[in-house]
A and B are shown apart, each in its own frame.
Chain A
Amino acid sequence: MSGGLTFLDRPNSYIGRSVPRPNARRLLEGRGTFVDDVAVPRLAHVAFLRSPVAHARIAALHTAAASAMPGVLAVVDGPALARVCAPWVGVLGHFKGLRSAPQHALAVDRVTWVGEPFCAVVARSRPEAEDALAAIRADLEPLPAVVDMETALDPGTPPIHPELGDNLAFERRLEVGDVEGAFRDAALVVEETFGFGRHTGVCLEPRAILADWNAADGLLTVHHSFQAPHMMQDILAKHLALPEGAVRVICRDVGGSFGIKVHIYPDEMATCALALMLRRPVKFVADRLESFTSDIHARDHRVTARMAFSAEGDILALDMDDLTGIGPYSVYPRTSAVEANQVVNLTGGPYRHGAYRARARVVLQNKAPTCQYRAVGHPIATMVAEGLLDLGAARLGLDPAAIRLRNVIPDDAYPCAGVSGIRLEKLSHQAALAKLLAMMDYDALRAEQAALRREGVHRGIGLSVFIEITNPSAAFYGVGGARISAQDGCTIRLDPQGGVVAAISVTEQGQGTEAVIAQVVATATGVPLGMVRVVSGDTQATPYGGGTWASRGAGIGGEAAWQAGKALRANVTAVAAAILQARAETLDIREGAIVDAATGVERMSLAELGRIAYFRPDTLPAGVQPEFVVTRHYVPKDYPFAFTNGVQASSVEVDVETGFVRLLGHWCVEDCGTVLNPLLVDEQIRGGIVQGLGGALFEHCLYDSEGQLLNGSMADYLVPMAGEMPDIAVAHVVSATASSEIGAKGAGEAGTAGAPAAVVNAINDALRPLGARVSRQPVTPETILEALGAI
């Protein structure tokens, strides 16, 4: 680094500062541009006929009446659409044995879940399209529905896709160390079956896509509420048989995503195909009711697990069996095997036991497809280990904090491998635990709990130690054959007035990606933050990259921006040196000016340099060619993933008469390496925690035995609201990754990873004196009353 400065002590560093997001202002004024806000001439609207049953053969579709309705432009069924849009299969090479069946944008001969689209109406307006939907008659012949994942593999259960032979999509087994021996010799073995209800993302802006085929330009322009524009471009090109350059995907403001908006959805592919077929722009905005049946769902796991302890409280071994139902298809292109795979990789990951056995089975069923949603697998893995640990601690008479401090991999043991084989560069469980216990005043809280218990008030404290996968390399998807970029790039251009424009391939959905990139670019280039513009979310305007998912935006996109910024600074100082007849290494750029690096004295403003370079290049010394546009890319290479860690605590009061739980407080200490912007990171953590609390206490996609979703509206599907959520204290330990210069790891999923285990452990801590415990999420008042034997 020039001048021997690190990024933190560069004189005008914005890194580590709580800078408000420059791009938030427009959102505060209602001036964002979400897909539904994009104005396009001749826009047509599509609405989809969705299966009302879980599994049926499409015998006939009668669409003539609908076609004749006012405003209707086209009624298109599955076979017609399949002539334009090729089907896909959601499998990856590195998940050995993973199987699924070809999936069409509109179901062709069978519908396989309630909500699967199988016919499209395009009309001049959405109300007219919906009017026409009501006039379509579909003859559906019922087929047996596979609903319960527990019986999906029974010999008597018919396979959803007969060509697969059964409903097992994927199975993984892992055995490390002498598991049998450890359980045989253990002083204590605890066992529990954990249930994780199916839930979904409920992005406040529903999924939305607008596809505009301009045949004259040979360009399909797609406005998409999405996280990964280049991935979408690649897949559209492949399945619509277009060259890559004929597809442009633009993701402007995105109203929440959380992993929901990174998958290939049949209705969205159909919308793009319809734009090609009709040669006019077509828009699809999922309404809230169809969001519940057509957005991906997540979780839906049942884990039976046991943990072996020594008499002193050392974890000796962990043995678990995970079963998960993923719907009728593995979702394209990331597949629906990832969550179970992560459960296997992560369970018990913070701890130093040497024996581990895991089996995960992923089964098909006639419910909405599941796939990656925020903190994929993490809340499950964390709950299993943390729940068992608390059971063990209680049986051994150990304090929950003490047993964790005893068992975590010590902070001085890194780098090392976790029991499942995961490679850990640098974690900080001990420091994080110590900080958390001090921050929450653990001992005082315990004393208060004991005093209140004597008065019949049932409070509980729950702890949850977790690890999080961030900054994935190509090991996540690329090695399995998915064309999902693991590398990202940043292009920075110095403009004549001395400002810069940075185009970045990671994307913004509100987490603050653009703000963080701006901070990094300002720091690296020496340009004031207010003169940095960031462009993202446009396949034609940014370098090629993966977008934002798996907590990768800051760590990977940020490093690309840092490297590009440094390179631009070097180019700019070189030209300045030529003009000033100084040696480049004696110059720096600070606050928008070329300065003497040693003294900080200004030598020349960037605006003056820009003027010369762009408008009077004739005055430059011979042989000097300014290159004021620089692109750099970054992909993590040292480790497959940058693991982070953290610990959360929850304090609750349980009304043992009603089963209602009041959240009194929540604390989180986490370690995402370099904290680029504490304001943004802390809110990522808080938002993630509340999503985790939602899954733990409220959110549940409830199906009946016929495969009907029973609570698919916002009134019936309960997401956490302000009135029930606690204030949340957040703090950090910093273990920067050495894989990059900025040292940032991800933080987007830490909150969701650890919150459910913390709150469920707190509830069980409150219930323990009453001899009751809960293990099935969401933990509702009814669950608690049943555990207490009150009903």
Chain B
Amino acid sequence: MDYEIKLDQFQGPLDLLLFLIRKNRIDICDIPIALITEQYLQYLGIIRSLNLDEAGEYLVLAATLLQIKSRMLLPVPEGETEEDEGDPRQELVNKLLEYQVFKEAASALETRPVLERDVFERGFHEEDAQGDPSDDGILIEAGIFDLLEAFREAIEGSGKSESMEIDLEKISLADRINEIMDVLTKCRSLTFVEFLDSSASKRHIIYTFLAILELIKLRMIKAFQNETSGVIRIFLAVDE
């Protein structure tokens, strides 16, 4: 088998380790630690010299390998048999085996008929969002204080007193997050105010605001503000 190496072919340090194990035709349950550590460190040297972003995580595994190696070199203290200590490699082996199964699972998924690759559905046109009259003017990305301002206005405008009624529909933040994502998928964008219907309770407004902040943090949505009117509009984040 051709073992041509492209350094970005590894999905992480465990992946590199599995590669080395395969390349050396090693039984994963009986890894020669010294050999593997040496080869791993060689690759690590190359990765670091290329300054790849993920080098940090490779370093952690390097340290682990060295630690295992040293534990295996230490003589077993008197009175203890090797079984008491446990194989210092075992934890790593278990990790590798588990990781390997999920790699296999990922492969298995890829062999299924994949939508838009092997099979296709009837294409349909997405409704273009209607232009909003308040949208005259340029949109700039909204800052946190603009969002807070919009939130404050919404809360004050709700005019509802702190009623102690029990909400029959206790929605969670996660629900609200999913709701917002669903709505945005159907309509290209919505203003902050439109997310709250007229009967919004304070709780609903707060949850909506928190959900929007969370989604912005996760970079799943973006908030833009109309330069002139100050109206804030929320869009789904798109891949650049």
User: Do chains A and B stick together as partners?
Assistant: no
